[in-house]
Structure 1
Amino acid sequence: MIYPIVVYGDPVLKKKARDIEKDELDVKQLSEDMFETMEGASGIGLAAPQIGKSLRMFVVDGRPIEDEDMEDFKKVFINPQILEETGDEWAFEEGCLSIPNIREDVFRNECLTIRYFDENWVEHKETYDGMKARIIQHEYDHIEGILFTDHLSPLKKRMLKGKLQNITKGKMKVDYRVVLPAKK
């Protein structure tokens, strides 16, 4: 099932998500739906809050990035916990399905160690670097209620204010279904 993607301005995107209990829901089905939703929107990562679910879960698929290192990088992360971030910070232009048509440089550490459960409830502790680490950090931010725009300077945020307001009003062009923030 393809979910509509929640866009900038919706409170679910700024809320810290809660852990998932083991038998609370069908995480295999939810992960399949999330992969299908992400692929339909040409994304490489999708967190549960982006489909309106305040749950600590995200999926990643780096295969669309044409790089040998990404060939096997399709994973489900449930109740993840970043244990350590190391290395120099490096800039890369990030975008987000929930903040369409805006891309900005974000600085992130080059390495991370993360503990998580996969869709079979098998626990993993792994270390990632480079683009894999960046994708995980971006999606992990979503379950912490942080958007990539939160990493920008105050000046950059002011410069984007109008574009972000347009997103909340639905004034954007995307080729996937979206859910706009509820009007107050």
Structure 2
Amino acid sequence: MVSLQDILLLGDPRLRQVCAPVARDELPGLQPWFDRMDQLILLFRKTYGRGRAMAAPQVGLLKRVVCMHIDQPLVLINPTFMNLSGEKFELWDDCMSFPNLLVRLNRHQSAVLHYYDLNWQTHEWALDGDLSELLQHELDHLDGILSLDYARNTDDLKWVANP
């Protein structure tokens, strides 16, 4: 059984670590982590009314993995951007590791993502808008970067109450 307390919060030094790549032979041992992350996404969404993905360091796994759950679970292994558009858009970004704080920032409008799936097959995924922004946020986590790092001043921060 998972709890929202399983999600690392702002201030935990593991959120600032650069994650190691996943080797193919590690996959069987990582499956319980992927299942747990998927359950946490669904629990967070039920509690806060938002939450589509999370990066492995948010649960203390310092590996280059992102789990998503939009219509169904999807695990992205060793994801990298192959192309980020020059066009950007502004948004208020939220994060499971500081759920009551929004950060105003700019993200690339579109991107092409390369990743491995659970069968170690490679994929390229053209992303636009919300999905592009979401995965830029999650891949930042894999490099120890938080959305707070993009805030220019306190005007770019907004506190929101729990639902």
For the aligned pair, the TM-score class normalised by the smaller chain equals 0.7 to 0.9
CA distance in 1, matches of 2:2, 2:118: 18
Amino acid at match of 1:91: E
| Post-superposition offset of 1:2 | 2.3
Distance in 1 (CA, whole Å) between partners of 2:103 and 2:10 is 15
CA distance 1:8–1:120, change in 2 (3 Å): same
| Cα distance change, pair 93–120 in 1 and its aligned pair in 2 (3 A) | same
The residue type paired with residue 2 of structure 1 is V
The letter of the residue matching 1:40 is L
Map 1:122-133 → 2, pairs under 5 A: 122-133=121-132
Structure 2 runs not aligned, ≥5 long: 46-50
Unaligned runs of 5+ in 1: 64-71, 164-172, 176-184
Q: Which residue pairs with 1:32 in the alignment?
A: 35
Letter in 1 for 2:96: L
List, as ranges, runs of 4+ consecutive aligned residues in structure 1 with deviation greater than 6 Å.
157-160
Contact in 2 for aligned 1:110/1:133 (Cα 8 Å): yes
Tell whether 2:22 aligns with 1:20.
yes
Does residue 1:120 correspond to 2:123, yes or no? Answer: no
Structure having the higher Rg = 1
Q: For 1:17 and 1:10, locate their aligned partners in 2 and report how far apart those are by CA, in whole Å.
A: 15
Q: Which moved more, 1:19-28 or 1:91-100?
A: 19-28
1:96 aligns with 2:95: yes
1:138 — aligned with what? 137
- For residue 174 of structure 1, report the CA deviation from its aligned partner: 6.8
- Deviation, 1:81, is 1.1
* Structure 1 contact 110–134 (Cα < 8 Å) conserved: yes
- TM-score, structure 1 as length reference: 0.75
* Number of residue pairs the alignment of both structures matches: 154
Cα deviation digits, residues 27-85 of structure 1 (max 9, x gap): 4432222110111111211110000111100112235xxxxxxxx7x521101111110
Aligned ranges 1:65-80 → 2 under 5 Å: 74-80=73-79
Q: CA deviation at 1:156?
A: 2.1
2 CA distance for matches of 1:158 and 1:41? 24
RMSD of the TM alignment (CA)? 2.3
Q: Hey, what does 1:81 align to over in structure 2?
A: 80
TM-score, normalised relative to structure 2: 0.84
- Partner of residue 167, structure 1: none
- The Cα shift of 1:158 comes to 9.7
Q: CA deviation at 1:104?
A: 2.1
Query: Which of 47, 51, 54 is the equivalent residue of 1:46?
Result: 54
Secondary structure of 1:20's counterpart equals: coil
CA distance in 2, matches of 1:50, 1:159: 21
State the secondary structure of the residue aligned to 1:37.
helix
SS at match of 2:40: helix
